[in-house]
Amino acid sequence: MSTFTLVIHGGAGTILKEDMTEEMEAAYRQGLNDALATGYVLLEKGGTAVEAVLAATMSLEDNSLFNAGKGSVFGKDGKQEMDASIMDGKNLMAGAVAAVRNVRNPVQLAYTIMTQSQHVMLNGQGAYDFAKLNGLKIEPDEYFFSPFRYDQWKQMQDSDETALDHNVIIQDKKFGTVGAAALDMYGNIAAATSTGGMTNKQFGRVGDSPIIGAGTYANNKTCAISCTGHGEPFIRAVTAYDVSCLMEYKGLSLEEAMNVVVHDKLMKIDGEGGMIGVDTKGNAAMVFNSEGMYRGVRKSDGKNEIAIYKHRLAHVWTRETYCIGPRSLGCC
């Protein structure tokens, strides 16, 4: 039997059950389930990993609960600027878009850049023009309007502060990003990530989501990774690529490598958030150093799970668990 796996996330952060109503939790779980089902059915029918991560991420972009696509937050000027990327582990092809407006599905634009251009990343007006040229759906500003997002922005509009998704108003401080990683039945892997960025951002700020190696990475030799968190530390740590390097050069497993990066390297530079990943054996991991992460996984062996909160009784990671160098050099 062929092995295939899909794992998704809808953002990480201070996500506590006591701050969530039953109705809201049910809505988030349904959104995650819909995205999993959308991508998994493609894998089940023989689709590629690229097709699966694209479909799953587009499903999350179309859900206003998540800070990507339709649910993107407002920037300083009251507009949405969106970032996304996608990478094919089979051939290391990648596409990315930064600071684009009015494109319904930025991850689809990233895919189009990967497949229909000679470039890896386009940004701003040029990216918008490329989307129109290739017939992608363009939506008016009203499509992206959400009263909840608008209220977030109004609280910060007159300041120079920025915020990651919900942390302005409620205790649910969520790093709003969505993404997916997949292994298909042909042994190929892929990853995709999409975000609306930070509330009240200005000066053309771009986070890690569209940066290959930081927010997204896929390589058939190792793994496919999609990240969520405070983008600046993830960029500085070259987070997604670092997981691949630890697997390829140190021989760590997927989960071991993700734990080193998320619980050690990122935390040393105040990086909060998490990541999801798959390897070429179909193993999946969802690792985060925050209180929660909207996440889900579905595998050909029957595993089908959705989770939001931190598992309080889960194994506690320590530096001694996954030493990545000689103790004499102070690694552990």
Q: Which residues are paired to 194 by β-bridges? A: 84, 178
Q: Please determine, for residue 326, whether its predicted confidence score (pLDDT) is greater than 90.
A: no
DSSP 208: S
State percent of the chain over pLDDT 90: 74
The Cα diameter of the chain in Å comes to: 59
The reported pLDDT for the residue numbered 322 is 46
Under 8 Å between Cβ of 206 and 83: yes
Distance CA 304, CA 307 (A): 10
Q: Which of 38, 57, 177, 195 is catalytic?
A: 177
Per the annotation, the verdict on 177 as an active-site residue is yes
DSSP-H helix ranges across the chain? 22-44, 49-61, 106-116, 124-133, 147-156, 231-236, 239-250, 254-260, 266-268
Once rounded to an integer, what is the mean pLDDT over residues 164-179?
58
What tokens were used for 110?
């990233």
- Cα angle 103, 286, 227 (rounded to 5 degrees) comes to 35
- Kindly report the pTM of this predicted structure: 0.90
The reported pLDDT for the residue numbered 121 is 98
Under 8 Å between Cβ of 119 and 137: no
- Residue whose tokens read 């878009």: 97
How does residue 169 score in pLDDT terms, banded at 50, 70 and 90?
very low
Residue that wins the pLDDT comparison between 169 and 16: 16
Nearest to 293 by CA among 279, 272, 278: 272
Residue 125 sits at φ, ψ, to 5 deg, of -60, -40
Q: Which residues are paired to 134 by β-bridges? A: none
What is the radius of gyration, based on Cα positions, of the chain? Answer: 18
Q: How far is CA 316 from CA 107, 144, 275, 277, 321, in A?
A: 34, 40, 17, 19, 9
How does residue 150 score in pLDDT terms, banded at 50, 70 and 90?
low
Residue that wins the pLDDT comparison between 311 and 101: 101
Once rounded to an integer, what is the mean pLDDT over residues 141-148?
85
Nearest to 86 by CA among 182, 6, 13: 182
What tokens were used for 55?
């479909």
CA neighbours closer than 13 Å in the CB half-sphere of residue 90: 12
Read out DSSP for 186-204? TS-EEEEEEE---BT--TT
Q: Please determine, for residue 151, whether its predicted confidence score (pLDDT) is greater than 60.
A: yes
What SS3 state is found at 167?
helix
Residue that wins the pLDDT comparison between 84 and 153: 84
Dump pLDDT digits (tens) for 42-85. 999 999 999 999 999 999 999 999 999 998 888 777 788 999 99
Tell me the residue type at 78: G
Q: Which residues are paired to 179 by β-bridges? A: 9, 193
The reported pLDDT for the residue numbered 304 is 97
Dump pLDDT digits (tens) for 113-142. 999 999 999 999 999 999 999 999 999 999
The reported pLDDT for the residue numbered 174 is 58
What tokens were used for 202?
């200005």
Sign of CA dihedral 65, 18, 226, 127: positive
Q: Please determine, for residue 247, whether its predicted confidence score (pLDDT) is greater than 90.
A: yes
Domains present along the chain, CATH in parentheses: 5-329 (3.60.20.30)
| Burial class (CB within 10 angstroms; exposed 0-12, middle 13-18, buried 19+) of 199 | buried
